[in-house]
Amino acid sequence: MKKLVFLCIAACCLFGCQNAEKKAKQHGEAQIVQENGEKLTVEVELVNGKLRDVDIDETVEGKKQTKKELKEDYQMKQASSIGKEWYEQVAFFENYVEKKGIKDIKLNEEGKATNDDVRSGCTIAIDGFIKGIEEAVKNAEK
C-alpha cells in the first residue's frame, strides 16, 4: 500500500512538473504584409511570460531569399550610416529587445528609433518590427 501511495505521489509530481514547464515556455508567430508589399515574419519565445527570444525576417520583392538569407547580397551596408547590413542591424535589434523589451523604444515619424542605445546598432525603420513583436507575443499568450 505504501508503494502504491508513493508511486501515485511520484507520478503526480512528474506530470505536474511537465505541465508547468510547458506553460513556462510559449512560442508565438506573426506575419505582416507591409505597405511596400514585403512580408515581415516575427517569431518570439516567452519564458515565464517574459520575452526571451526574438527572430525577425522579411521577404524582398523579386527575390526567393529573405533579407537575412541574402546577408551581404542585400547590399545595404553602403547606404547605412553605421556601415551595417540589414541582417546585422536586425540581429542587434533582436538582442536589444531580448534584453530590454520594446516598451521604452521611441520612434520618429519614419518609424525609426530615436533612442541612442537602439540607433547605435539599428538605424532602419523598426515600427513594423514592433507591431510584429506585439502580435507574436499576443499569439504566444493565447
Note the pTM of the prediction, 2 decimals: 0.82
Mean pLDDT computed over 82-95:
98
Computed over every residue of the chain, the mean pLDDT equals: 90
Compute how many other C-beta atoms are within 10 angstroms of the C-beta atom of residue 30. 19
pLDDT digits (tens, 9 = 90+) for 13-71: 555 555 555 568 999 999 999 888 899 999 999 999 999 999 999 998 888 999 999 99
Mean pLDDT computed over 64-83:
96
pLDDT-above-70 percentage for the chain: 84
Question: The C-alpha cell of 6 is what?
Answer: 508513493
Helix (H, G, I), strand (E, B) or coil at 89: helix
pLDDT at 35: 83
Hey, which CATH number is domain 25-141, 3.90.1010.20, 1.20.1740.10, 3.30.430.20, 3.40.50.1100?
3.90.1010.20
Compute how many other C-beta atoms are within 10 angstroms of the C-beta atom of residue 9. 10
pLDDT digits (tens, 9 = 90+) for 110-142: 999 999 999 999 999 999 999 999 999 999 999
Calculate the alpha carbon distances from 78 to 43, 87, 88, 111, 114 in Å.
28, 14, 13, 21, 22
